[in-house]
Chains A and B, each alone.
Chain A
């Protein structure tokens, strides 16, 4: 520090005068009109410094504006008087029954806060335990359908029940002519009895039952009932046109029986042999060991050949198509007397009579046919219905009531029905909306939804079940049975009526019996109540030869069934098991016909029917479709305002059905013409072959019997120490599972491809429906899918083609391919490719083996979906809830009514977020919590994913792989090295989902 020259400011400083000292520190010696408010002399005068004023102002503004920004307050109002049994957050389960068009399911209805949100199988029922059909799962949406009628209508105007009851009661009292009650099959003993009682008041009353998909030929050949087929006892099954796993008679019970003969294990390597002779490629045909495409006109020849061989008679027959296969089938049938079963889907009574004789000759009665317990699920009588239609047109019918029947839409004589209705004085419909028939009648008195109803059922003799309401009627509707009681002048309600009816069969204290039965939902002890008309003239096994005329079209039921559920978006978007098409019907044609007509998939064809009607539908090239035939699904082509989901979707193919000798045949001749239009078909899968990859594995029963360890190809990776298992080559430390390790086994032998799991998953996890346009853009949101692969004639080893041509031809399915179904969903890989690549760590692995998805964290870069080799991740491309783009498509997320079905335990995802199968983590957590409350470990089978719970064939087994006693652990231990394999094992994803090689019983 240098000596610095100090300069004096003035003499005062030099002299250190006291004034100078005093003012030395002041920068401004003059008095300034500013108050000092520094730390040394805080002013108490109250006058605010300018800067302080601004500070205070600014702070106050900020405080006030921040205070006014609150997070929105949601008011939760607790119950003042809590309804009995209603705990918010805790589900209540009610046993009930779903029955529609032959599809019978005994179910449990899960309700939350008083509203049903999920359908599960009722395991108390021997007929349908552990499984539901897709229609049963989706039926929930019908309850929350925004287009249901909310009040009765008189001439399409809202009316009160009092007015309606008064008018109808008085008009019925004064009715002139026949009173007809037209319904589809009624399997409710109490309902049938009630209808008969209702009708007994009238001099001329008839209860006419008809089915849109008729089985009256089968009934007339078997004494008015359906034989008690038991596929579980059969070693040889031959089906001629009967889709018994999908839409014929009683699909769920048949599926459960059938699958018992298809599951294999190394201790019991026995399988049935299943022959399917059919026209269209049905789900049942896909599961058959041998499938032969035949025309409808050739069914007679096949059955006659079998009939002649088995019964020894010499009925006249045309030449048999595929004679060698028919002969082989006959040989096997004869070699397995007492363990053989033949079924046919034709509505020709002569054919069905032949089939009955065949079965009798094969000793089926008493073995594969339970003669003591026939099925009642289809009782429709075509002849009766046709006679009634004629009577209506003749003017002799005074009143007609339609219950669960829509003949103006689904009967081949629809035009005559419409004209007949005009001639009937009193017309009433119990439909839930103004459907095609109800729109023409005078009174629509809407029935409750089945989930709002009391009812009883008897699908099979000796198997009774009940339905109870799971929710109060949402609208001012009334059960049909209650309406009939009111109009009969009775004071009873239907609930009491059922109870009175059941008193007859109760044992002991009735109330105890009743409570117990309502709780269980079923009474399957052989007691029977349904009155069925067995007074039917036996048909002779004589078939009239059908002359094949041009292209034979076959009609069939698809996801939406006969059409009553067309307004159900879950079913509209459900991919068809074989064609993988959604949102519409089409003309499925064989490849040869398409090439001949120079038609490619998506070309719109003009379909001219026998009665002159014309519809336009796109063509779909269907491998395995019999040459010279096409198949078209029914249920589409609705134009009703009350079915907005279904408007514009497909075309009505019912008029193609033909009436021959008072029987309705679901086949008819058509003429096809190309138009210049195209209409792409929304398929969820557009590549159909396996391309020589080891994704699905299959083998034959003979190979399996010879060596169970030789049926699965295990990939090995070449290392310097020789071939090694891919799982042993890893850079990573593996996860250690200490408590639970959840996994799933998929038995490819058991999966029939029905898609019940897909709908169940959609219901459980609030998965949106995206509509046809988005499915065409390949953006459907289903978390799980059933991949369907056709076999191809070309494979990787075909040496006669160059490599490029080989791959090209491998994309073509064979002309009559074999089919394999593979359920595919998140594999919950232990070395998940998706987990490493998310930049924000939105997807990570849980301590119990699940690959978790944190929706809140996802920013939507989609790398995880790109990196998933199984392509199981789904992205929310738009906001699906509350979006007018998806009105009448994603109905569960638009209106308050629709939203009632959403599962409160699962988040509804926002736009821009990735989602995927979570192994129903909400169920896992609930199961663990309940077990913890009871101070125990979860029991195996207690925690079920939605898919596994709904599968009718138990193809999916979910459980804790760390529990050695669990079913899944035992299965894995057993099948290790035999049938168990992982998909894409070679890339070392180490999935928690194991598949079991499919074994086919090939000759």
Chain B
């Protein structure tokens, strides 16, 4: 048994038992759709419809339906791509990195976070295909044998590295997530009453028996996959950042992008996890599993990565001045004072100022403020990518080609549409899949719930107040 320090906050509050955990999580899956869920799902479907219409316009008429031009060849498409991919990084970090670091607080959020990653990567993957002029030939980026003499793809190209990175990321995340889901599907299968439910969940649970051997294998596979997925947290966004870093455009051509982007990705990902979890935990009554402590830990990560991003901004600015390269210097002056100054200052306020608020414990532990700040963080990160892409492109080397970029309704429609896609998938997930990893939460119940288990750690009784009372079912109030 692990020793848990008596001064640590319990990770599971409310005096839960194993059965409670099963009930609390499976109840949502087994119950009929609640009206709030249905309304939200309806809105998501509208978003999905917007997505389909905007995609139809793009595919049928051409990229001319967007606001791009010969100077600004990428704008909302790649901004959205990087934004969605970045968001996905939180899930992988929580699932993989925190597993390797043995952070037990990851157990209640890792399933939903990993789901968010997968759905975010799905949304992200839409863009590299849709932004192509001839997307029906998108398979040409794959190094498959062909009849063109076998023509290879161009391995020098960062866009090609993206293909490998994103597809690896997606497949590893999917496998990792799914393997984690198997025992929980088995639990639901065992409890299932309706014929469809029983068939579906037994199909999904792959015949899980719950034997000791299976659990042992489960633990091993999780560790291996965590080991495989951990480098992805760093490598995927590094490669995405190289879409810009390997180019010659001022504002793109900088070596700080890989760590800067990775930090930014984790930053925005955790913010999105918080946005989603703060709502989910209330709607699904999972406050005992996703506690203020969890929120605070995530906010600490947000603060750290946000500070790294802030330092990266400062470094970029310093290097622009120190290098003496007029193009780079102008790029930064243009960002702050040019026609898109409002995007730049939105980015700065949201990304540099807001995470610093988390130095204050009160703010870190305030759920309302955390929710608001998490939205701002994501807004800020969207503008960061917009600033990097559009501002660098719209005024680069030759002033004769300087041009403005204005989005069209189709640009906006595709972005709003990906929200529709994301939330459609997410709401389907929360309805039909167990949102919390029951098995892992049960594994930490004895050590981290603050509830005395029989015959162990009598000291725990002394320090914790109400939690020691086994008979009461009081929940910890939010401090």
Contact = CB atoms under 8 A, between A and B. Distances in A.
B171 interface: no
A862 B153 contact: no
B74 interface: yes
Q: How large is the interface on A (under 10, 10 to 19, 20 to 34, 35 or more residues)?
A: 35 or more
Nearest to A860: B133
A177 interface: no
Contacts of B135: 859, 912
A913 B402 CA distance: 22
Contacts of B248: 833, 867, 869, 987, 989
Contacts of B402: 686-687
A619 B67 CA distance: 25
B204 interface: no
B70 A840 contact: no
A878 B403 CA distance: 20
B131 A861 contact: yes
Given A685-B400, A839-B160, A878-B64, A693 B132 contact: no
A787 B333 contact: no
Given A693-B327, A877-B64, A871 B154 contact: no
Interface residues of B, number: 53
Given A807-B330, A841-B153, A878-B61, A911 B134 contact: yes
A833 B133 contact: no
Interface in B56-114: 61-64, 67-71, 73-74
Interface centre among B134, B138, B163, B395, by most chain A C-beta atoms within 10 angstroms, is B134
Nearest to B244: A866
Interface in A677-699: 685-693, 695
Given A836-B156, A862-B73, A689 B133 contact: no
Interface string B127-152: 01001111101101100000000011
Nearest to B152: A841
Contact of A837 (B64, B131, B156, B336): B156
A914 interface: yes
Contacts of A878: 61-62, 64
B157 interface: yes
Given A808-B337, A876-B133, A869 B158 contact: no
A871 B70 contact: yes
Given A841-B151, A866-B249, A866-B393, A796 B326 contact: yes
Contact of A860 (B132, B395, B397, B401): B132
Contact of A777 (B69, B153, B333, B399): B69
Contacts of A840: 140-141, 153-154
Interface in B21-68: 61-64, 67-68
Contacts, number: 172
A877 B156 contact: no
B396 A789 contact: no
A803 B333 contact: yes
Contacts of B398: 695, 787, 824, 869-871, 983
Interface in B408-452: none
Interface string A826-860: 00000001001111110000000000000001111
A911 B62 contact: yes
Nearest to A911: B62
A592 to B, nearest CB: 24
B388 to A, nearest CB: 12
B399 A869 contact: no
A125 to B, nearest CB: 34
A375 to B, nearest CB: 36
A997 to B, nearest CB: 17
A685 B393 CA distance: 15
A836 B157 contact: yes
B269 to A, nearest CB: 25
A866 B152 contact: no
A866 B336 CA distance: 22
A785 B70 CA distance: 13
A871 B71 contact: yes
B401 A871 contact: yes
A737 interface: no
Nearest to B330: A807
Given A693-B327, A779-B64, A803-B333, A839 B397 contact: no
A735 interface: no
A779 B69 contact: yes
A688 B398 CA distance: 10
Contact of B400 (A687, A796, A875, A984): A687
Interface in A276-326: none
B143 to A, nearest CB: 10
Interface centre among A860, A861, A863, by most chain B C-beta atoms within 10 angstroms, is A861
A757 B3 CA distance: 81
A44 interface: no
Nearest to A831: B248
B159 interface: yes
A875 B399 contact: no
Interface string B154-168: 101111100100000
B74 A839 contact: no
B396 A869 contact: yes
Nearest to B158: A837
A213 B133 CA distance: 46
Nearest to A808: B337
A837 B70 CA distance: 17
Given A839-B141, A861-B128, A862-B74, 17 more contacts: A688-B399, A807-B333, A837-B247, A839-B153, A839-B157, A840-B140, A857-B151, A859-B135, A859-B141, A860-B134, A870-B397, A871-B70, A871-B398, A871-B401, A875-B73, A912-B62, A987-B248
- What are the 8 closest A-B residue pairs judged by CB atoms, nearest first? A860-B133, A912-B133, A877-B64, A862-B73, A778-B69, A787-B400, A871-B401, A841-B154
Interface of B: 61-64, 67-71, 73-74, 128, 131-135, 137-138, 140-141, 151-154, 156-160, 163, 243, 246-249, 326-327, 330, 333-334, 336-337, 393, 395-403
7 contacts: A686-B402, A836-B157, A838-B154, A840-B141, A863-B159, A871-B71, A914-B133
